[in-house]
Amino acid sequence: MKRIAILGSTGSIGTQALEVISQNSDKFKVCALSCEKKVGLLAAQIEKFKPEIAVTANAKDAADLAEKYPGTEFFFGNVGLTHVATSDCDMVLNALMGIRGLLPTYEAVRAGNDIAFANKETLVAGGCVIMEAAKANGVKLLPVDSEHSAIMQCLEGHSQKQVKRLILTASGGPFRGYSIDKLREVTVEQALNHPKWSMGKKITIDSATMMNKGLEIIEAKWLFDIPENKIDVAIHHQSIVHSMVEYCDGSVIAQLGKPDMKVPISYALGYPERVETDSAGLNFFEEAANLTFEPPDEDTFVCLKLARQAIQDEDSSYAVVLNAANEILAQLFLEKRIQFLDIQNHIARILEEHKPEYRLDVGQILELDENVRREVLKNVNNSNGRHIMHTHFCP
C-alpha cells in the first residue's frame, strides 16, 4: 500500500486525487494533507482519511483543528509544507499553486520521496536544480498534467534516442481564433469560462493567454530531457488527444481520453500500475468522431513565443523571470487591475530588461522570484492603466 502525502489537498487536483484514493483504498493510504484557505474542507478530509499530519496556512487554524482532531499532528506555513514533503511517505502529490511548490518539492526529492506533481512552476523555475537532485537521489518525477502524463505514457517501452519530437496538444482556451484587437476587450469572466476543462482560476487564465502551454513546453524540456526545438504545440479543440510522440520512423503514438484529470492523477499515483477510476470511457463514434488540429497563433498569443525564447538559454534565469511575472500579472488581471493583453506585454518588457544569471540554487531562485514580483507591481502601478507596448525579447 502506497503512503501518499498531498500538498494542496483542498484544490481541484487535491480533491480529485482523494476521490481516486477513495476508490482504491486497498492501494493507497493518505498520510498527510495541507490546505491554505479552505479549512472547513480540510477538516472534512481529516475526518474521512485520518492523516497522521495536516498543515494549514496559519497557526490559529492549526491550533483550532488540533483540538478537534487529536489523532493528527498539525503544522502551519512553509515550515509545515516542508515537514509534509519530507515525511515518512512513498509519494508526495504536489498540487500547490505557483512558485510556493518549489521548496517543498526540492526538500521532498532530497528526502528520497517520489513526486507526483501538478505544480508545473516547480520545473519551469527550478528545472535544472530539481532534475539534478532527482537523479542524485533516485527519485521518480511523475507528471499529473494531462499533456505530460500523455507524453509519459506514449514513451513507455521506447528509447529516448528514437524520439523525433513531442507534440503537446492545447484546447485553444476560450479565445481560440481571436485577433489582437478582439483580445483587447476580453473580460475576466470570459477568460475564466474555459470550454473544456474545469481548473483553478490561475491556470484557467494561463490557458486563456496560452502561457499554460508555454510553461508546459519548459516543463517537458526538463522532464523528458528534450530540447525546446523538438517540442511542438497543436491546437486540438476537442481535447480528446492529450499529447503525442513522433518517432524517428515517422510513427506517431497518441494518448486519447475524455478531458478528465482523474486519469493522469491515477496514472501518477499508481505508477507503474494502472488503477481504477470512475472516468467514463471514450465513445469513438461521438466524442472522437471528428478530431481536428491546427497550429497555434504565436503572434497573437505571444506568451507561447516568450516561453520558448526563455528556455533557449536553458541554464539562465529567464524562465524564473517569466514564471514570476506571469504569476503576479495573472492575479492582477483576476483582480481587474490590468487588461488581458497587459499580461503578455508586461512579461515581454520585463524579460527584455532582465540581465540573466546562471545556474541558480533554490534560494537564489526564490529571491529572484520575489524581486521580479516587486518590479512588476511597481511598473503596473506606474503605468496607471496605460497600454504597455509589446517589445521583442530574444535571449
Share of the chain above pLDDT 70, in %: 97
Q: According to the 3-state scheme, what is the secondary structure of 272-337?
A: CCCCCCCCCCCCCCCCCCCCCCECCCCCCCHHHHHHHHHHHCCCECHHHHHHHHHHHHHHHHHCCC
pLDDT at 196: 75
pLDDT at 8: 96
Q: Which amino acid is at 381?
A: N
pLDDT over threshold 50, residue 376 = yes
Q: Crossing angle for the helix pair 146-155 and 262-270, nearest 10 degrees?
A: 50
- The closest of 221, 257, 220 to 242, measured between CA atoms, is 257
- Kindly state the DSSP code that residue 210 receives in the 8-state scheme: T
What does the pLDDT average to over 83-97?
Answer: 95
What does the pLDDT average to over 263-283?
Answer: 93
Work out the pLDDT band at 323, boundaries 50, 70, 90: very high
pLDDT at 381: 82
DSSP state letters, 67-92: HH-TTSEEEEHHHHHHHHHTSS-SEE
Q: How far apart are CA 336 and CA 53, in angstroms?
A: 37
Work out the pLDDT band at 382, boundaries 50, 70, 90: confident
- Kindly state the DSSP code that residue 164 receives in the 8-state scheme: E
pLDDT over threshold 70, residue 395 = no
Cell digits of residue 52: 497522521
The residues, any chain, with a CB within 8 Å of residue 69's CB and separated by 6 or more, are 43, 46, 47, 54
pLDDT at 194: 83
DSSP element (H, E) containing 234: strand 231-235
What does the pLDDT average to over 246-273?
Answer: 96
Domain boundaries, the chain: 2-144, 148-270, 313-383
Q: How far apart are CA 391 and CA 306, in angstroms?
A: 11
pLDDT at 388: 44
Name the burial class of residue 262, with classes exposed (0-12), middle (13-18) and buried (19+) by CB atoms within 10 angstroms of its CB: middle
200-209, 238-247, 294-303: the lowest-pLDDT one: 200-209
User: 228-245 pLDDT, tens per residue?
Assistant: 999 999 999 999 999 999
Q: Are 228 and 312 in contact (CB under 8 A)?
A: yes
pLDDT at 195: 80
Q: Taking all residues of the chain, what is their mean pLDDT, rounded to a whole number?
A: 93
pLDDT at 230: 97
Instruction: Give the dihedral of Cα atoms 118, 24, 69, 200; nearest 10 deg.
Output: 30
pLDDT at 384: 57
52-61, 191-200, 203-212, 225-234: the lowest-pLDDT one: 191-200
CATH entry 1.10.1740.10 includes domain 313-383: yes
Q: How far apart are CA 239 and CA 270, in angstroms?
A: 23
Q: How far apart are CA 305 and CA 298, in angstroms?
A: 6
Cell 511542438 belongs to residue = 232
User: 110-136 pLDDT, tens per residue?
Assistant: 999 999 999 989 999 999 999 999 999
pLDDT over threshold 70, residue 393 = no
Under CATH, what is the fold of the domain 2-144? Rossmann fold (3.40.50)
Q: How far apart are CA 99 and CA 120, in angstroms?
A: 9
User: 329-355 pLDDT, tens per residue?
Assistant: 999 999 999 999 999 999 999 999 999
The residues, any chain, with a CB within 8 Å of residue 375's CB and separated by 6 or more, are 350
pLDDT over threshold 80, residue 248 = yes
Distance of CA 221 to the CA centre of its chain: 14
Residue 365: half-sphere exposure toward Cβ, Cα within 13 Å: 27
> Which stretches of the chain are DSSP H helices?
12-23, 39-49, 59-68, 77-85, 102-110, 121-137, 146-155, 180-183, 188-191, 201-209, 211-224, 262-270, 302-312, 318-334, 340-353, 362-383
Q: Are 269 and 23 in contact (CB under 8 A)?
A: no
The residues, any chain, with a CB within 8 Å of residue 108's CB and separated by 6 or more, are 85, 86, 92, 94, 115, 139
